[in-house]
Amino acid sequence: LNNIHVSQSHQRLGIGSKLLNTCACICAERYGNAGLYLWVVQTNEKAQRFYSRYGAENLGESTWNAPGGTVVPLYRFVWKDVQRLRSASC
């Protein structure tokens, strides 16, 4: 999963959940019980809580060399088995 962005004015309406659910269902159909992960900016605690509610685990760190020369610290949020995410969301 590359990323999910929902504008602030449309958050808490279930849009992010539907996007994550759809991704989980497609991945489960195509890839069985393979894992799924995405990178989350370390300062984005709201996103971290969202993914954690769906069972993702914070299992790594990295950085992103963003345009303009800034270095952004990231966390790697992982679902080890997409079937578990799918069963909670499809």
- Summarize pLDDT for 11-28 with one digit per residue, the tens: 889 898 888 988 888 888
pTM: 0.85
What type of residue sits at position 76? R
Q: Is residue 73's pLDDT more than 90?
A: yes
Q: Are 7 and 44 in contact (CB under 8 A)?
A: no
